[in-house]
C-alpha cells in the first residue's frame, strides 16, 4: 500500500463544515412537485432518445429556477435548502415506472422469441403478448394492476431502506475509521457553485465556470437533442447532425480489424466527463481498448470468436464476442477487482487503528453534535425489517425457489460486500462488487435444488450493495446539511415520484411504440440488452441453456489471473492504482465508442488546463461538467416540450 498522489488531490478538495443547518421547508415541497411533473418526463424522454436522461441537469435547472424566483421574492436559497432540492431531484430522476416501459418491450421482444423464453416471463412483471393493454399501449388496464402495485410496494421499501445499512456503514467508515472518501467532493462542489449564485455578493469562480459550461451545453444540446426532436415531429425522418447513439464504423474496418466493434460517439459530454474522472482511470480504459483492438483479430483467427462474421454492426459484434469469450473473461476480471478490493480492506484495516475497541464503539454510538443523526440502532432495525420484507415478497412470488438462498443474500452476503465496498469508496473512491454471485446462486438452485423457471430473476431478492450509499451520506455532510432534512425530503418525494412516473410513462408510451424511430437509442440498443439479459436467464431452465454454451471456466481463470497480475505489476512499479481499474473497464468489451472523447478530455485537462490553472483545475472540472449538464438538460426539456405538444396536437381529432 502506498499513497497515490492523484487520490490525495481528490481527498483535499473539500473539508466538512463545523455547522449543520436544516434544509427542508416550503420551498422543498414546491420543488418536489416541480421536479416530479416537469423534470422527470424530460429525463424519461431523453433516456429513450439519446440513452441518458436529464440526470444531473434536472438538479441544476431546478436550483437555478428556484434561486432566481427567490431573488425576485426578496429572499434567497441557503446552501442547505439547495442541497435538499438537489437530493430530491436525484431521487425523482430514478423514475421507477420507466422500468415498466422496458418490461412491456421485453415480453414482446424478438430476443425473447428467439431464445424461447416468452412464455416463462412472469405475469407479475408485465401482461403476456396479445394483451389488450399492449395493443392499446396503456398502463391503465386490469392486466397491469399487479405489476404496478408490486412496483409501488418495492419502491416504498427501497426508499425506507436508504436509511438502513448504508447509513450504519457511513457512521462506521467515516466517523469511526475516518476514511477520506476522495470522490465525495466532486459531487458536492457543483452544489456549492449554485449556492454561490443565489447570493451575488458572494459570487466567485464557481458561478462563472458553471455559466461557461451551461452555455456550451446549450449550444451543443440545440444541435444534438433539439434539432432531431423538432425535425422528427415535422418531417418523416429526424435530422441528425450527430448520429445517435454513435457513428458505427464496424462494417468499414471489418477487413483489417475482424471481430472489433469500432466507431465513435459524438456526445460532447464525454469530453467533460474525461476531464472530471481520475486521469489514469481514463487512460487505463484506452489501454484496455487498445488491447482488445489487437486481441480480437487474433482470437478470431484462432477460432475463439467464431460467431462473428462480416456484415455485423456494433450491437451484433459485441453480443457475439460476449457469447464466445468476453462474458467469461469479464467475470474473471470482476473477480480480480473484487479480490483486490478485499485485499485493500484487509491490509488497511489491519494497520489503521491504534485506539481501543471501547473507544471505537464510543465514537460509533455518539455522532457529532448538530449533524441531525439518528440512532444507529434505528438504522440496523430498518435494515432487518426491509430485508425480511424482501425475503417474504420473493418467497411469495417465486414459491419454488429455496428460501435459504434468500436469507443468505440478505443477512450474510449483503453486509459483507457492503462493508468491503464502503471501505473501498472511502479509501480509493471505487465501488466493489463480486460478479455473477447472484447468477451463480440462481444456477445452483436450479441444478441442485430443482428450481426451474426465470421468475427469480425478476423477484425483489435482498441482494444489495450499500457501499455507494456511504459516499452519498458523506456528500450530505460536506454541504453542511442536517441529516433530518434528508429524511423529510425522502418522505415527501416518494408519492410525488410514484404518481408522476406512472402518468408520464403512460403518456410517452402513447405517443409512439417503444422502441421505434422516435426513440432512436432504445431502438438501437434495447435488442442487445434484451439478448444479454435473457441469455443469462435461460440458465435456470431445463435443457442445454445458451448460458452454459457461453460460460467457459478457462476464460474466467484467464481474466482473473490477468487482472491480479496487472494490479501486482502496477503496484510494484508504484504506478497509479486507478490505472488497473481503467484497464479492466477497457477490457470489459462493452461498446467502446465513447472512450475516444473521454481520453481527449483527460489529456486536455491534465496537459493544458492543469498547467494553466494548477491544482485548482480539480475543482473547476466538476463545476464545468455540472454547467454543461445543465445546458444539455435545458435543451432536452425544450425538445421534450416541443415534441409532446406537437404530437398531442397531431393526435387531436379535427
* Residues 530-587: tens digit of each pLDDT: 888 888 888 887 655 666 677 788 988 998 888 888 778 877 777 776 776 677 666 6
Cα Rg of the chain, angstroms: 25
Kind and range of the H or E run holding 247: strand 247-248
Helix axes 467-478, 184-197, angle to 10 degrees: 30
Q: What is the C-alpha to C-alpha distance for residues 549 and 528, in angstroms, rounded to an integer?
A: 18
Residue found by looking up cell 500500500 in the block: 1
User: What cell numbers appear for 557 in the block?
Assistant: 481463470
pLDDT, residue 652, reads 45
pLDDT, residue 13, reads 67
DSSP string, 85-144: HHHHHHHHTT-TTHHHHHHHHHHH-HHHHHTT-GGGS-TTTSPPTT-HHHHHT-S-SGGG
Under 8 Å between Cβ of 391 and 438: no
Q: What is the C-alpha to C-alpha distance for residues 288 and 284, in angstroms, rounded to an integer?
A: 6
User: How far is the first Cα of the chain from the last one, in angstroms, to the nearest whole number?
Assistant: 73
pLDDT, residue 178, reads 75
Q: What is the C-alpha to C-alpha distance for residues 431 and 61, in angstroms, rounded to an integer?
A: 28
Residue found by looking up cell 477460432 in the block: 303
Tell me whether the omega of the peptide bond preceding residue 245 falls within 30 degrees of 0, making it cis. yes
Under 8 Å between Cβ of 424 and 431: yes
Q: What is the C-alpha to C-alpha distance for residues 188 and 79, in angstroms, rounded to an integer?
A: 11
Q: What is the C-alpha to C-alpha distance for residues 361 and 357, in angstroms, rounded to an integer?
A: 6
Q: What is the C-alpha to C-alpha distance for residues 394 and 122, in angstroms, rounded to an integer?
A: 13
User: What cell numbers appear for 25 in the block?
Assistant: 421547508
pLDDT, residue 653, reads 44
Give how far the C-alpha of residue 150 lies from the chain's centroid of Cα atoms, to the nearest Å: 23
Kind and range of the H or E run holding 330: helix 327-352
Q: Where are the alpha helices (DSSP H) in 512-577?
A: 520-537, 546-550, 553-572
pLDDT, residue 97, reads 67
In the chain, what percentage of residues exceed pLDDT 70? 83
Q: What is the C-alpha to C-alpha distance for residues 604 and 612, in angstroms, rounded to an integer?
A: 11
Which portions of the chain are predicted below pLDDT 50? 1-3, 201-202, 354-355, 652-654
Tell me whether the omega of the peptide bond preceding residue 515 falls within 30 degrees of 0, making it cis. yes
Tell me whether the omega of the peptide bond preceding residue 618 falls within 30 degrees of 0, making it cis. no
pLDDT, residue 373, reads 86
Helices (H) and strands (E) in the chain, counts: 32, 2
Kind and range of the H or E run holding 386: helix 376-397
Residue found by looking up cell 448460458 in the block: 547
Amino acid at each position: 500500500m502506498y499513497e497515490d498522489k492523484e487520490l490525495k488531490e481528490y481527498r483535499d478538495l473539500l473539508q466538512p463544515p463545523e455547522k449543520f443547518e436544516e434544509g427542508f421547508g416550503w420551498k422543498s415541497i414546491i420543488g418536489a412537485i416541480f421536479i416530479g411533473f416537469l423534470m422527470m418526463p424530460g429525463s424519461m424522454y431523453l433516456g429513450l432518445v439519446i440513452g441518458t436522461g436529464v440526470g444531473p441537469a434536472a438538479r441544476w435547472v431546478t436550483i437555478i429556477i428556484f434561486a432566481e424566483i427567490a431573488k425576485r421574492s426578496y429572499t434567497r436559497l441557503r446552501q442547505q435548502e439547495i442541497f435538499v432540492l438537489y437530493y430530491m431531484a436525484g431521487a425523482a430522476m430514478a423514475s421507477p415506472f420507466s422500468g415498466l416501459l422496458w418490461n412491456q418491450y421485453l415480453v414482446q421482444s424478438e430476443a425473447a422469441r428467439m431464445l424461447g423464453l416468452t412464455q416463462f416471463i412472469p405475469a407479475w412483471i408485465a401482461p403476456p403478448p396479445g394483451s389488450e393493454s399492449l395493443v392499446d399501449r396503456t398502463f391503465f388496464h386490469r392486466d397491469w394492476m399487479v405489476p404496478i402495485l408490486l412496483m409501488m410496494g418495492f419502491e416504498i421499501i427501497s426508499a425506507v431502506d436508504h436509511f438502513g445499512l448504508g447509513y450504519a456503514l457511513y457512521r462506521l467508515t467515516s466517523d469511526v475509521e475516518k476514511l477520506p472518501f476522495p470522490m465525495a467532493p466532486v459531487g458536492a462542489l457543483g452544489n456549492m457553485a449554485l449556492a454561490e449564485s443565489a447570493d451575488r455578493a458572494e459570487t466567485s469562480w464557481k458561478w462563472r465556470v458553471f455559466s461557461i459550461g451551461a452555455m456550451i451545453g446549450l449550444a451543443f444540446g440545440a444541435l444534438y437533442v433539439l434539432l432531431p426532436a423538432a425535425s422528427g415531429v415535422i418531417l418523416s425522418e429526424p435530422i441528425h447532425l450527430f448520429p445517435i447513439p454513435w457513428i458505427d464504423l464496424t462494417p468499414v474496418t471489418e477487413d483489417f480489424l475482424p471481430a472489433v466493434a469500432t466507431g465513435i460517439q459524438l456526445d460532447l459530454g464525454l469530453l467533460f466527463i474525461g476531464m472530471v474522472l481520475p486521469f489514469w482511470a481514463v487512460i487505463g480504459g484506452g489501454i484496455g481498448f487498445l488491447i482488445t483492438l489487437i486481441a480480437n483479430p487474433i482470437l478470431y483467427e484462432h477460432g475463439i470468436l467464431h460467431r462473428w462474421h462480416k456484415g455485423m454492426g456494433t450491437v451484433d459484434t459485441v453480443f457475439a464476442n460476449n457469447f464466445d469469450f468476453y462474458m467469461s473473461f469479464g467475470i474473471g476480471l470482476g473477480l480480480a477487482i473484487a479480490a483486490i478490493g478485499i485485499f485493500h480492506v484487509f491490509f488497511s484495516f489491519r494497520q489503521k487503528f491504534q485506539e481501543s475497541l471501547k473507544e471505537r464503539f464510543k465514537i460509533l454510538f455518539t455522532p457529532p453534535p448538530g449533524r441531525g443523526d439518528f440512532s444507529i440502532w434505528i438504522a440496523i432495525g430498518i435494515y432487518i425489517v426491509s430485508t425480511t420484507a424482501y425475503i417474504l415478497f420473493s418467497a411469495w412470488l417465486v414459491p419454488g425457489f429455496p428460501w435459504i438462498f434468500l436469507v443468505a443474500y440478505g443477512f450474510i452476503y449483503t453486509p459483507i460486500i457492503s462493508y468491503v465496498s464502503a471501505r473501498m469508496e472511502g479509501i480509493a473512491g471505487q465501488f466493489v462488487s463480486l460478479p455473477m454471485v447472484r447468477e451463480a446462486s440462481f444456477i445452483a438452485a436450479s441444478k441442485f435444488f430443482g428450481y426451474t423457471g426465470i421468475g427469480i430473476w425478476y423477484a425483489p431478492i435482498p441482494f444489495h450493495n450499500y457501499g455507494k450509499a456511504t459516499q452519498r451520506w458523506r456528500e450530505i455532510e460536506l454541504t453542511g446539511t442536517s441529516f433530518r432534512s434528508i429524511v423529510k425530503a425522502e418522505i415527501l418525494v416518494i408519492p410525488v415520484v410514484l404518481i408522476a412516473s406512472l402518468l408520464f410513462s403512460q403518456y410517452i408510451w402513447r405517443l409512439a411504440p417503444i422502441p421505434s424511430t422516435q426513440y432512436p437509442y432504445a431502438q438501437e440498443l434495447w435488442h442487445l440488452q434484451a439478448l444479454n439479459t435473457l441469455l443469462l436467464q435461460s440458465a435456470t431452465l431445463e435443457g442445454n441453456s445458451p448460458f452454459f454454451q457461453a460460460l467457459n471456466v478457462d476464460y474466467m481463470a484467464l481474466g482473473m489471473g490477468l487482472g491480479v497480475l496487472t494490479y501486482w505489476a502496477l503496484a510494484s512499479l508504484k504506478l497509479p492504482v486507478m490505472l488497473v481499474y481503467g484497464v479492466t473497464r477497457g477490457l470489459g468489451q462493452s461498446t467502446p465508442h465513447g472512450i475516444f472523447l473521454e481520453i481527449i478530455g483527460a489529456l486536455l485537462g491534465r496537459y493544458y488546463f492543469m498547467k494553466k490553472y494548477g491544482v485548482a483545475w480539480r475543482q473547476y472540472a466538476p463545476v464545468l461538467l455540472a454547467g454543461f449538464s445543465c445546458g444539455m438538460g435545458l435543451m432536452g426539456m425544450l425538445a421534450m416540450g416541443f415534441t409532446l405538444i406537437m404530437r398531442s396536437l397531431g393526435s387531436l381529432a379535427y
